[in-house]
Amino acid sequence: MFEKITVIAPGLLGASIGMAAHSRGFAKRITVWTRRPEAREQLAQTDWCDQAPERIEDACSGSELIILCAPVQRIIELAKTIAPHLDSNPIVTDVGSVKSELSRACTAALGSQGRFVGSHPMAGSEKTGMENANSDLFVERVCFVTPFEETDPEAIQSVSEFWQGLGSFTITETPERHDAIVANVSHLPHLLASALATHLSSDFPDAAKFCGNGLKDTTRIASGDPGMWLEIIAQNRAEILRSIDGFEKELKELRSVIANQNDFETLVKLANGKAFRDSLDD
- Please say which residue of 158, 173, 188 terminates a domain: 173
Q: What are phi and psi of 68, to 5 degrees?
A: -90, 115
Confidence grade of residue 198 (pLDDT, cut at 50, 70, 90)? very high
- Long-range contacts formed by 168-172: CB under 8 A, 24+ apart: 168/121, 168/123, 168/138, 168/139, 168/140, 168/141, 168/142, 168/143, 169/140, 169/141, 169/142, 169/143, 170/142, 170/143, 170/144, 170/145, 171/142, 171/143, 171/144, 171/145, 172/144, 172/145, 172/146, 172/147
- As a whole-number percent, the residues of the chain with pLDDT over 90 amount to 83
Same domain, 138 and 262: no
- Each residue's pLDDT tens digit, 218-239: 999 999 889 989 989 999 999 9
DSSP 8-state code for residue 51:
B
pLDDT value at 55 more than 90: yes
Residue 141 is predicted with a pLDDT of 94
pTM above 0.75, yes or no: yes
CA dist 212 and 11 (Å) reads 31
Q: What is the mean pLDDT of residues 162-186?
A: 96
> What is the model's pLDDT at position 71?
86
- Give me the percent of the chain exceeding a pLDDT of 70: 99
Q: What is the CA radius of gyration of the chain?
A: 21
Band (129; pLDDT cuts 50, 70, 90): confident
Q: Is residue 191 located within the same domain as residue 162?
A: no
Pair type for strands 142-146 and 118-121? antiparallel
33-37, 210-214, 216-220, 271-275 — which is least confidently predicted? 210-214
112 contacts 87 by C-beta, under 8 angstroms = no
DSSP structural state of residue 249: H
- Of the candidates 152, 173, 194, which is a domain's last residue? 173
Total number of domains constituting the chain: 2
Residues 10 and 59 in one domain: yes
Out of 125, 147, 173, a domain closes at 173
Sheet with 118-121, edge to edge strand ranges: 118-121, 142-146, 169-172
Q: What are the helix (H) ranges across 118-261?
A: 153-165, 175-182, 188-203, 213-219, 226-235, 237-259
Residues 41 and 106 in one domain: yes
> Per-residue pLDDT for 282 more than 90?
no
The CATH number assigned to the domain holding 263 equals: 1.10.3660.10
Which pLDDT does position 73 carry in this prediction? 83
Q: Do 36 and 50 belong to one domain?
A: yes
User: Other CB atoms closer than 10 Å to residue 56's CB: what's the count?
Assistant: 17
- Give the range of the structural domain holding residue 148, as residue numbers without chain letter: 2-173
Same domain, 158 and 29: yes
In terms of domains, do 168 and 192 share one? no
pLDDT of residue 126: 63
Question: Residues 133-150: what's their mean pLDDT?
Answer: 94
**pLDDT score recorded for residue 208:** 83
* Pair 102, 135 in one domain: yes
140 in the same domain as 31 = yes
pLDDT band at 149 (very low <50, low <70, confident <90, very high): very high
CA 172 to chain centre: 15
CATH at 87: 3.40.50.720
Q: What angle do CA 214, 274, 229 make, to 5 degrees?
A: 55
For the segment 63-82, the average pLDDT, to the nearest whole number, is: 94
Q: At residue 195, does pLDDT exceed 90?
A: yes
Claim to verify: residue 147 and residue 191 sit in the same structural domain: no
With 70 as the cut, is the pLDDT of residue 80 above it? yes
| Same domain for 189 and 118 | no
pLDDT at 125: 66
**Residues 26, 117 within the same domain:** yes
Average pLDDT score over the chain: 93
